[in-house]
Structure 1
Amino acid sequence: MSTIQTDLSGQTAVITGSTSGIGAALADGLAASGANIILNGLGDADAIEALRADMAKRHGVEVRYHPANMLKPEEITAMVGFGHQEFGRLDILVNNAGIQHVEKIENFPDEKWDAIIAINLTSAFHSIKAVVPIMKAQGRGRIVNIASAHALVASPFKSAYVAAKHGIMGLTKTVALEVAEHGITVNAICPGYVRTPLVDGQIADTARARGISEEAVVRDVMLTAQPTKKFVEYDELVGLMLYLASDAGASCNGAAFPVEGGWTAA
């Protein structure tokens, strides 16, 4: 009989972009399985503190917050060091931070391109670079990059986002090969549309870029790509995260895991 469990008691997880949306849901799921948590992200200081305290109380784990700016490599490195110093180990890194901008390529602002590439792709490079020596010394680690269905397929008006997410997939595969013999796995979760604050912003931007209503964006642009015609639920991502973070997912490495209702099946 299998004895594999998803109990993460005593482990430490750093989740970037985890003060809201997908990141907050993933952090909560990891905490529910016993992991100590380093939250990171933007937002009102009081709201972040309330999230931190509530998560710690409900799950009986330690939860800390680090305000690292994903545009600043030195702060990303400091965040990883902070997590290691606080708990003496760092077992799980989740690269989730991301931003979006929707616009025709000829009108795409240079500064938006630079910011999206930096936050959605380059920040993951810096966090992985900082955490791999720690995980190698431990002889075990789990790195999960939150990519997107757009790491596998493209959509119009999202040049920077699609480029960054394709880059995340390449980074995932490359690092997976480098660390495979050290008990470390690196995988990517590729969600379809989840009703997050980021997606809400995309709805308005896409409506403007395409000259259609926001209702038409949801019906004819977003969910038309997902055969289920439903947004992906947070819990569906959490379940996969726990599998990949635990011993159950030990032989999954360098892989993309689409969670998008069949979008990329065609």
Structure 2
Amino acid sequence: MRLENRIALITGAGRGIGRAIAEAYAREGARVAVADLTLEATAETVAAIEQAGGTAIGLAMDVTDERRVDEGVAAVVKQWGRLDIALANAGIQHIDPVHKLAFEDWSRVINVHLHGSFLLTRAALRQMYETGGGTMLYMGSVHSLEASPLKSPYVAAKHGILGLCRAVAKEGAEHGVRSNIICPGFVRTPLVDKQIPEQARELGLSEEEVIRSVMLRNTVDSEFTTVEDVAEVAVHLAAFPSAALTGQSIVVSHGWHMQ
């Protein structure tokens, strides 16, 4: 198994991409801390991992709350002795053109994605530096690399996380920490399902047209990326054995963005 005896913490792991990664890490032998806003939100993921023979704990963690993030990371170290892999995955979305965007909605998206990624990174690095290294991973997006209309706070946050990832790769190298960012295309998660009618209303299109002409237009095969696709990349990055792969954005998008 590629992650045997590794200790991993994943935020936003109660459902969607985070859950798929948590389950994939557990199948590969990792002990997984499943973090989400409430313990109830983590329960299904933890149960699925345990029923499959893996080891997991749930953590109630609001990634915008400095104290809760620090305490959550400390709880993982207390439980299992160290932290080897931390993945900042928690995210939300808001659809509006810039000229109609409320500052409150802008701030909420930035806080969860960018500030949440920073808080997890800082807490995780403090542990990893003490124990000789680890892996910081981030859930970016094709929007870490290019923009789409109606999503300015999300695009700005995802660009910012790419910069954070690269800074951590530079700073963490002397401490044995690698840092990479996964940049998926559209994945049919609740986050994306919520966007479809919102974009349809804003653009004056049918929901089918949003899927075909907006979300999948630039893919090579008109297919959504799957949570399994993203989880496989997350396993590979967590298991990669050296700093030959650090500071990189790995795009998983059916060719939507090529770099």
Output aligned runs, 1:27-66, within 5 Å. Answer: 27-42=22-37, 45=40, 48-58=42-52, 60-66=53-59
Show the counterpart of 2:84: 91
Q: Does 1:233 align with 2:233?
A: no
Q: Which runs of 5+ in 1 are unaligned?
A: 1-5
CA distance in 2, matches of 1:119, 1:255: 22
Show the counterpart of 1:10: 5
* Secondary structure in structure 2 of the residue aligned to 1:14: strand
TM value normalised by structure 2: 0.95
* Secondary structure in structure 2 of the residue aligned to 1:85: helix
- Matched to 1:74, the amino acid is R
Q: Does 1:124 align with 2:139?
A: no
* Secondary structure in structure 2 of the residue aligned to 1:263: coil
1:92, distance to aligned residue in structure 2 (A): 0.4
From 177, 184, 207, the equivalent of 2:170 is 177
1:19, distance to aligned residue in structure 2 (A): 0.3
Q: Write the deviation string for residues 143-186 of structure 1: whole angstroms up to 9, x where unpaired.
A: 11010000000001111000000000000001110011222100
Show the counterpart of 1:222: 215
1:48, distance to aligned residue in structure 2 (A): 3.5
Percent of paired sites with the same residue: 37
1:120, distance to aligned residue in structure 2 (A): 0.7
CA distance in 1, matches of 2:239, 2:138: 15
1:250, distance to aligned residue in structure 2 (A): 4.1
Show the counterpart of 2:145: 152
| Farther-moved stretch of structure 1 (234-243 vs 147-156) | 234-243
- Matched to 2:220, the amino acid is P
Output aligned runs, 1:206-217, within 5 Å. Answer: 206-217=199-210
Number of aligned residue pairs: give it: 259
1:53, distance to aligned residue in structure 2 (A): 2.0
From 238, 241, 265, the equivalent of 2:258 is 265
* Secondary structure in structure 1 of the residue aligned to 2:257: helix
CA distance in 1, matches of 2:119, 2:78: 18
Q: Write the deviation string for residues 31-80 of structure 1: whole angstroms up to 9, x where unpaired.
A: 000111111124782x642331221220x332111111122111111111
Do 1:101 and 1:205's aligned partners in 2 also have CA atoms closer than 8 Å? no
* Secondary structure in structure 2 of the residue aligned to 1:19: coil
1:198, distance to aligned residue in structure 2 (A): 0.2
TM value normalised by structure 1: 0.93
Show the counterpart of 1:19: 14
| Farther-moved stretch of structure 1 (72-81 vs 152-161) | 72-81
Output aligned runs, 1:70-81, within 5 Å. Answer: 70-81=63-74
- Matched to 1:16, the amino acid is T
